[in-house]
Amino acid sequence: QKEVEQNSGPLSVPEGAIASLNCTYSDRGSQSFFWYRQYSGKSPELIMFIYSNGDKEDGRFTAQLNKASQYVSLLIRDSQPSDSATYLCAVIGGYGKLTFGQGTILTVHP
């Protein structure tokens, strides 16, 4: 089993809809979780992190963490075409080393 697994996608949603991206992780001891966004041909950039069970909201983005189920999700409300990108889930290990999932490609169509 991979350390971090994401729903395979690709995911296509209409403009204005909610996009839901999901991630599971294998190490029950993992404490911190991150969502990075990567536009085509560009480098990843951090958009959200979450440490505690429950929801964390930042603008149109909400990260959800359920440590008992080893599940992390990212919701994007009022999706815009500019949100079209690959979303990478990551967990942190020693030294700040991040382990990434394979990514989910999101397309928001007008």
Partner 1 sequence: GAGVSQTPSNKVTEKGKYVELRCDPISGHTALYWYRQSLGQGPEFLIYFQGTGAADDSGLPNDRFFAVRPEGSVSTLKIQRTERGDSAVYLCASSPSRDDTGELFFGEGSRLTVL
Nearer to partner 1, 28 or 97 (CB): 97
Nearer to partner 1, 94 or 110 (CB): 94
Residues within the interface to partner 1 (CB under 8 A) = 4, 31-32, 34, 42-46, 49, 88, 90, 92, 94-103
Rounded Cα gap, residues 92 and 94, in angstroms: 7
Q: CB of residue 100 vs partner 1: minimum separation in angstroms? A: 3
